[in-house]
Amino acid sequence: MCLGAFTMRVKALVIRILRQFKRDKRTMALLIFAPILVLSLLYLVFGDDDYSPSIGLVDFPEEVVESLDLSGAVITIYEEEAAAFGDLDTQDLDAFVTLDDNQPHVTLEGSDPLINSAVLNWMQEAFGSLTGETERQVEATFVHGHEDMRHFDYFGPVLLGFFIFFFVFLISGVSFLRERTRGTLERLLSSPLRKWEIVIGYVIGFGLFTILQASIISAYSIFVLGMMMEGNFFYVLLITLCLSFSALTLGILLSSFAHNELQMIQFIPIVIVPQLFFSGLFNLDTISDWVSWIGRLTPLYYAADALRNVMVRGFGFEHVYIQLLILLGFSVVFVVLNIIVLRQHRKV
C-alpha cells in the first residue's frame, strides 16, 4: 500500500509537469527548436565541405605539375619558398607544397580547421594519384593551429550533447526555481509528498519530455543535417537521455542557489560554458595540465566522448557503457544533494 501511494503521488507530479509543458508551448518549442536552429546555423557555417583551398606549388618541375590532378584548388606556382611564405602570412594562400626528395611536404597557414582539412583532403587526392597510394599520410607542417582540428562531423556530437544539456538545465532549473518562488514547493512540502518523491517526479516528468526532445534533435542532426553517424542511433538516444538526466538534476540543484530567473541564467557562464571547453570540442591535449582535469568533473566530457565513439567511430555498447554509468552516477549524486538541500525546508 505504501508503494502504491508512492507511485500515485509521483504519477500525479509527473502528470502535472507534463500538463504544464502542454500549456507552455513556448518553452516546449525552445527545448526542441532552439537546438535545431543553432545546430542548423553551425552546419551552415562550418559544414561546407566544398571549400576550394588556394595552394602554392614551390619549385615544382613542369612535368610533375602536368601529371597531377589539380582540380578542386586554386593553384599558384612559386619559384621560391620565401615568396610563398609571404603570401601565407597575409592569408592570400592557405598552404604551399614543396618537394623534398620527390616527397611532397605541405606547409599550412593552419588557423582555420576547416581549411586545414580541405587542404589535407586535397593533398590526399592530388598526390595520392601520383603515387598510387591513397592512404599515405602527407607530411605536413602547420604555421598556426594543428592537425587535430576538424570540422562539423568532429565537433557535431559534442554540440549535440551540449545543446541538449544546456536547454534541459535551463528549463528544469527555472521550473524548479518557480516552484520555490511562487510557494508551491512549500505547499508540496506540507503535503504527504516526500522530498525524494519530488525529485524523482521531476526526473520522470522531465525525462519523458527529454526522450522526445533528444529523439527529435538527434534525428534532425543526423538525418537532416547529415551529421556523421557510424554507429547505432539507439545508443545516441541512450547517451543523450543519460546526459539530460544529469542536466536536469544539476539544474534543479543549482536553482536552490538562485533567487530569480536572472540568477539562474548567471550560472550559464559559470557552469555550462566551461563544460564546452573541456568536453573535447577543443583538443584536450593542448589544454594546460593544471586545468585539464576539470573536464573529468563535467558530465558533458563523458557524454561527448561516448557520442563521438558512437557517431564518429561507430563503436558499440562496450565503448559507451562506462560513460553512461558515470553520467548516471552524476545524476544520482545530484539527486542526493537535491534531497539534502530540500531538507533545509523540512527536516522530515
Partner 1 sequence: MTDSNNVIQVDHVYKSYGKQKVLKGIDLTIKEGEIFGLLGPSGAGKTTLVKQLVGLEEVSSGEVRLLNEKQPSLSLIERIGYMAQSDALYTELSARENLEFFVSLYNLTKHQRKERIKEVMRVVDLEDAMDKVVADYSGGMKRRLSLAISMLHEPVILILDEPTVGMDPILRKSIWESFNALKKRGVTIIVTTHVMDEAEKCDRLGMIREGRLTAVGSPDELKKEADVKNLEAAFLVFGGVHYES
Which residues here bind partner 1, judged by CB under 8 A? 5, 8-9, 11-13, 15-16, 19-20, 23-24, 182-184, 186-193, 345-348
Q: Is 145 exposed, middle or buried (0-12, 13-18, 19+ CB in 10 A)?
A: middle
Q: How far is the CB of 17 from partner 1 (least distance, A)?
A: 10
Cell 547505432 identifies what position? 232
Whole-angstrom Cα distance, residue 61 to residue 65? 7
Q: Which is nearer to partner 1, 7 or 52 (CB)?
A: 7
Q: With the C-alpha atoms ordered 60, 66, 67, 69, is the resulting torsion angle positive or negative?
A: positive
Q: Which residues lie across from 98 on neighbouring strands?
A: 105
Q: Which is nearer to partner 1, 201 or 251 (CB)?
A: 201
Which residue lies nearer to partner 1 by CB, 6 or 277? 6
Helix, strand, or coil here: 142?
A: strand
Q: How far is CA 63 from the centre of its chain?
A: 47
Q: How many CA atoms lie within 13 Å of 215's alpha carbon, on the beta-carbon side?
A: 7
Shortest spacing between CB 193 and partner 1, in angstroms: 5
Q: Which is nearer to partner 1, 136 or 187 (CB)?
A: 187
As a whole number of Å, the CA-based R_g of the chain is 26
Closest approach of Cβ 180 to partner 1, in Å?
A: 10
- CA–CA separation, 33 and 156 (whole Å): 17
Provide the minimum distance between the beta carbon of 338 and partner 1 in the complex, in angstroms, as a whole number. Answer: 17
DSSP 77: E
User: Closest distance between partner 1 and the C-beta of residue 11, in Å?
Assistant: 8
Residue among 193 and 284 whose Cβ is closer to partner 1 = 193
Residue with Cβ nearer partner 1 (14 or 55): 14
> Is the Cα torsion angle 188, 190, 191, 193 positive or negative in sign?
positive
Q: Least distance to partner 1 from the beta carbon of 189, Å? A: 6
Which of residues 175 and 210 has its CB atom nearest to partner 1 in the complex? Answer: 175
| Backbone torsions φ then ψ of 65, nearest 5 degrees | -60, -40
Residue 33 Cβ, how far from partner 1 at the closest point, in Å? 20
